[in-house]
Structure 1
């Protein structure tokens, strides 16, 4: 496939409106995570802890949304937001890591979608188990490559499908909240208020929910990733905030109303998707079927959006000479085909890895969140760097960027050593791509500061492999 970089190509690039960009954000965030929230929260905390967790996560993620809004205005020349901000602020190697980590998180996140679809169907087809059987992986792989074919037809067509799917999938979630309120039992809610004995201290409860909240909010940066396709650059930031506020209300509502339907100890034992199981408890089998159908539509739409974003990040990084040249080749339909193939291949590999994990869904969910934390931290720190160098009129931007930076740093702590090490196992080998790009350009492979980053990442990856081999940590 020839490289397409002419002005004719630019004129054919799909230009997305504000509503479409906002729906891309909503479509990216409303996926597998929302349907898993009841069990994930019930395993960690009660009503009090959930309210605090959503307050922390909502505030922190809103600060990140404002960060992406500000950066879209301050640095409009930067495309593929998360990656570009890390590079502009902290150099090419950390920018490369940000691009790779964000891309890898999108690919691993796509695995959660297929696992949850198979687990949903597994309620009536036991051979699929919890989405982690051999048959489930085979069927997921077929779906994976069917979507590859669909996306290869063009970004514009895929974005249009996502806009329709976004509307279709939000309706069942809102209906769930309304029905849950109708069957809400105050006595059950009161019993769940303080949490169960197994939940630990309030701080531990809140800390335990953080990776789940990160996962459901992934996609808040969706509009900035697609900034090169925006009809107007200022629409990127507005779409980000509008999309965030919409889904925040949905996610918090789904979590809290569930505590009024069942004891949290029972919710914690439900199979995923736990939202379907909760509604079945309230209204019977039709409730489970209703949510399950909505889940499949939702997940397939989110999968489409995330696959598009994953390929876009690799493509733009390659165009900036931070990835090997083969990744910047695109078709006349504006599809970065090699980046799309690489994204689909990594998703396929992780699908197979889930066969060896204790809990396929939770493993993929937590790893997705952990991989995203470094790109988010670097983007927030870049905004802090810009605001600190500005005038006093930017004091609000400085405060927002500082809060976003502190929040993302706390998330890395909350993720724990296990997922930090597993993330480095993924990050470190990626340096091969960085070396390929540098050699293609005839440049020095690593600057002195970059060698420090390389040493830390390799040391962490080696420690992670040793920890897995000796059983200190497990998948």
Structure 2
């Protein structure tokens, strides 16, 4: 009897967990403590965990029932037309390279632990080194080098061992009295924060959604399952496992240091908290693992935006130049364009008060656009197939993303519209090159384009006048 090939339930679950954990978990505590006490943080984790679970189940359902779809933008295009596909795909592309900017900031902050000249991650030496790393990784990917299985294993170990060590030690040093002293009250001083539970809850949303960015990639692995029924189970178990890891990593320190102390710790917070727990070696232990993990993740995410625009070019949503490959099979134009934008954004970070939080907020806001389309298409697809269970999953998936971005800050979504300005031009050029709809934008596409441009202009004015701070 032939052995059944594919990933087992255990392997699928492990893939969901390891592919979703990135650098964000190492910065969680300080970012959350700046605006929320442990009570609102736990409440926010419960809500965000549920919303992400619904999104992952929707992705699994669509992938299993429409395995021919390539790329997350395919669902928006299939359900709502080419312009929706462009909006979703371009948003995913924006999110991918903005995520690299966040990687750069954390990497420089981690190096700052060993070399003080990089401390803080947003000074001139940090920008110079981050720029060099970005262009080197672009060169490597352009040469056709892909991340190997052995390298991914090393990166996974570098992420998980320090993380689990931190959690274990955190459990032993946890003090209930410190944890419950101000369970619902925001007592962090010197930071912008709302005293109400609702305000604290809102301050957590963007940070928590950021650490789940990439869960869509894990869901795509369901097509490689030995048993298709295992895909949904692995997603549920994997998301719950991620939630447990994130909750422990972010909440345990509230039982070791006060909220005020946690809010003032330098990033990456886990490095400095662990050093305080076990001594100088603890900071080095977390720091070395984090640096290796970020470099590996950054390499993977250098490929991701180029792959996204390449798929969009194949669907005639972008000009052919985005999909043109060099002799090594890499899309040079997409890679260089993306690297140039990362370079420009790294310079902007010199003038940002909270570079990391700003980059992660924009990255999350951009990908929320894609996630909303996934939820909406899940609703449409379920209605067409009269599947009430999947319909409710779609409603919850789309509803969570919409409500979360409204509560977390619509101004981030408005800022993302600036990134759509060149995209609209490229979309129009693609229609002209391929002579789609007579080489012109349709009436609805013109209206949506005008709306996006209007929001972009308003955002630029608000940044210039100081109404939106970066």
Q: Same fold (TM over 0.5)?
A: yes
- 1:196-246 deviations in whole A, cap 9, x for unaligned? 245421111111100001110000001456899x69895876765565343
Aligned twin of 2:190: none
Task: Classify 1:374/1:253 alpha carbon distance in 2 versus 1 (closer, same or farther; 3 Å).
Answer: same
- Of 330, 338, 343, the match for 2:333: 338
2:388 to 381, 395, 399: 395
Residues 371-397 of structure 1, C-alpha deviations (whole Å, 9 max, x = no match)? 111111111111011112222xx2211
Query: Counterpart in 1 of 2:367?
Result: 372
User: Equivalent residue for 1:309?
Assistant: 304
1:140 matched to which residue of 2?
130
Q: 1:433 to 1:41 in 2, by over 3 A?
A: same
Structure 1 CA distance for aligned equivalents of residues 315 and 175 of structure 2: 56
Judged with a 3 Å threshold, the aligned counterparts in structure 2 of structure 1 residues 315 and 160 are, in CA distance, closer, same or farther, namely farther
Residue 79 (1) aligns with residue 74 (2): no
CA displacement, residues 13-67 of structure 1 (integer Å, 9 cap, x when unaligned): xx99678876665454322210111111111211211111110010000100101
Alignment of 1:197-236 (within 5 A): 197=187, 199-223=194-218
What is the CA distance between 1:323 and its match in structure 2? 1.1
Greater shift in the superposed pair: 341-350 or 419-428:
341-350
> Would the aligned equivalents of 1:162 and 1:305 in 2 still touch at CA under 8 Å?
no
Q: 1:327 aligns with which of 318, 322, 327?
A: 322
Cα distance in 1 for partners of 2:336, 2:151 equals: 20
Q: Which runs of 5+ in 1 are unaligned?
A: 1-14
Q: What are the within-5 Å matches in structure 2 for residues 39-438 of structure 1?
A: 39-80=30-71, 82-154=72-144, 156-158=146-148, 160-197=150-187, 199-223=194-218, 243-331=238-326, 334-391=329-386, 394-438=387-431
Using the size of structure 2 for normalisation, the TM-score is 0.90
1:108–1:37 Cα change, 3 Å: same
Q: Summarize the Cα distance change of 1:422–1:397 in structure 2 as closer, same or farther, 3 Å threshold.
A: same
How far, CA to CA, are the matches of 1:454 and 1:467 in structure 2?
20
**Residue in 2 that maps onto 1:440:** 433
CA distance in structure 1 between the partners assigned to 2:154 and 2:80 by the alignment: 38
Number of residues of Structure 1 aligned to a counterpart in Structure 2: 457
Cα 1:353–1:416 shift into 2, 3 Å:
same
Sort the Cα spacing of 1:240 and 1:364 in 2 relative to 1 into closer, same or farther, 3 A: same
2:113–2:287 CA contact under 8 A, matched in 1? no
State the 1:333 CA deviation. 5.3
Q: Is the 8 A contact 1:104 1:371 kept in 2?
A: yes
TM-score by length of 1: 0.89
Aligned equivalents of 1:332, 1:239: Cα separation in 2: 38
Instruction: Tell me, in whole angstroms, the C-alpha distance in 1 between the residues paired with 2:322 and 2:338.
Output: 11
Q: Mark the runs of 5 or more structure 2 residues left unpaired by the alignment.
A: 188-192
Distance of 1:26 and 1:395 partners within structure 2: 29
SS of the aligned residue for 1:270 comes to: coil
| Contact 1:189 1:259 survives alignment (8 Å) | yes
* Whole-angstrom CA distance in 1 between matches of 2:206 and 2:69: 28
Q: 1:67/1:249 Cα in 2 relative to 1: closer, same or farther (>3 Å)? A: same
Q: 1:458 to 1:163 in 2, by over 3 A?
A: same
| Alignment match, 1:470 | 465
Rounded Cα–Cα distance in structure 1 between residues aligned with 2:453 and 2:15? 35
SS of equivalent residue, structure 1 residue 120 = helix
Does structure 1 conserve the Cα–Cα contact (< 8 Å) formed by 2:76 and 2:374?
Answer: yes
